[in-house]
Amino acid sequence: MAEERGGLIATEAQALPGGSARASAPATGCVDLHLHSCESDGVLSPTALLARAAESGLRHVALTDHDTVAGLPEARAAAARHQLQLITGVELSCAYRGSTIHIVGLAFDAQAPALQQLLKRIDQLRQVRAAAIAAKLEASGVPDALARCRELAGHDRLTRTHFARLLVASGVARDLKRAFRTHLADGRGAAVRAEWPRMVEAVTALHAAGGVAVLAHPLRYAKTHSARERIVRAFVEAGGDALEISTAERDPDATARLLRITRQCGLYASSGSDFHDPQQRWIRLGSLPRLPDGIPPIWAHPQWPQSAAPAARQQPQ
Ligand code: AMP
Ligand code: MN
Ligand code: MN
Ligand code: MN
């Protein structure tokens, strides 16, 4: 059975190591390797997220919070309860020529010193940036922004999403989109640049931790194909392993070009929704398009964890 969506041909089941392949796979995927919890800027706890993932038919998931692995222990316990395969994950903030690029790290050792150091460094950058954003908001009439934002987040790993939520809660913006557009997007009044690590630093740390590096949501970075391809090539130069091919974005033409460059550069392909919130109506968990034939999925990468029952490992056709 084949289903075409967003330029991707959905064919048969692609079994992941560590999970039992379904005899007849649903047309929708059972893999989502890009999910957020309230340990960064998602709204669900890791426990609630994994429960929802299981209900949605997902079998293989990664919690990829921004620059933190704080949610992993809770996610691991929940994954065991729901018989989900949880891949260790994180989404790292990186800089490339003045813009921010996100790299999803998967299947690494979360205790590895190189990665811990990088996470600590990014955390410090986040702390400094959050204080600067809060100062700007306070100067423009939002009282006590830093403390209120921390309270709203429940932790101090503040992202712009948390500030956007504060602006909505304070009646300054009608919704998150407008909060970004009017206040927090690049060039807006409360925007503050952070000198995130370079892509090569993120990829190197992930590799040192035994993991793989995936360029997250590649369609979001640039308006033109050529600008996007420059970013992909810089990611490859930095040692990156895979592109997120199956995402919530639907752009068949741009996806076809990404597939071409994935093949040319010998990259792997990953699947991830970037789910943050059940209110994001355009993301339905468990409904990512399947990866196309002819491109190795990230779970075929040699660094991918072998399952407890390696005999069950099946390479996609
Ligand atoms: P930060 O890493 O602190 O710069 O925050 C980035 C996060 O803000 C992203 O991961 C998204 O979740 C969110 N975000 C960025 N732009 C927008 C937007 N225009 N509307 C809603 N959320 C956004
Ligand atoms: Mn986010
Ligand atoms: Mn991202
Ligand atoms: Mn994300």
Q: Which residues line ligand 1 (CB under 6 A)?
A: 41, 66, 93, 159-161, 176-177, 180, 276
* Three-class SS state of 84: coil
8 Å CB contact between 32 and 272: yes
* Gap between the Cα atoms of 193 and 302, Å rounded: 36
Q: What token pair was written down for 266?
A: 């010998």
Percent share of the chain, pLDDT over 70: 88
What's the pLDDT at 198?
98
What's the pLDDT at 29?
72
Q: What token pair was written down for 138?
A: 């306070």
User: 285 CA distance to ligand 4 centroid (A)?
Assistant: 14
Contacts of 310 (CB under 8 A, 6+ apart): 17
Of the given ranges (4-18, 22-36, 295-309), which has the lowest mean pLDDT? Answer: 4-18
CA-nearest of 7, 87, 92, 98 to 53 is 87
Going by alpha carbons, the residue nearest to atom 16 of ligand 1 is: 180
* Gap between the Cα atoms of 206 and 7, Å rounded: 30
User: 64 CA distance to ligand 3 centroid (A)?
Assistant: 9
Average pLDDT over residues 21-28: 35
8 Å CB contact between 158 and 41: no
Going by alpha carbons, the residue nearest to atom 13 of ligand 1 is: 161
- The single residue listed with the structure tokens 């075409």 is 4
8 Å CB contact between 166 and 176: no
Question: pLDDT of 184-233, one tens digit each?
Answer: 999 999 999 999 999 999 999 999 999 999 999 999 999 899 999 999 99
What's the pLDDT at 16?
54
User: Strands 8-10 and 31-35, how do they pair?
Assistant: unpaired
For the CA of 64, the nearest ligand: 4
User: 266 CA distance to ligand 4 centroid (A)?
Assistant: 24
User: 275 CA distance to ligand 4 centroid (A)?
Assistant: 7
Q: What token pair was written down for 192?
A: 């503050």
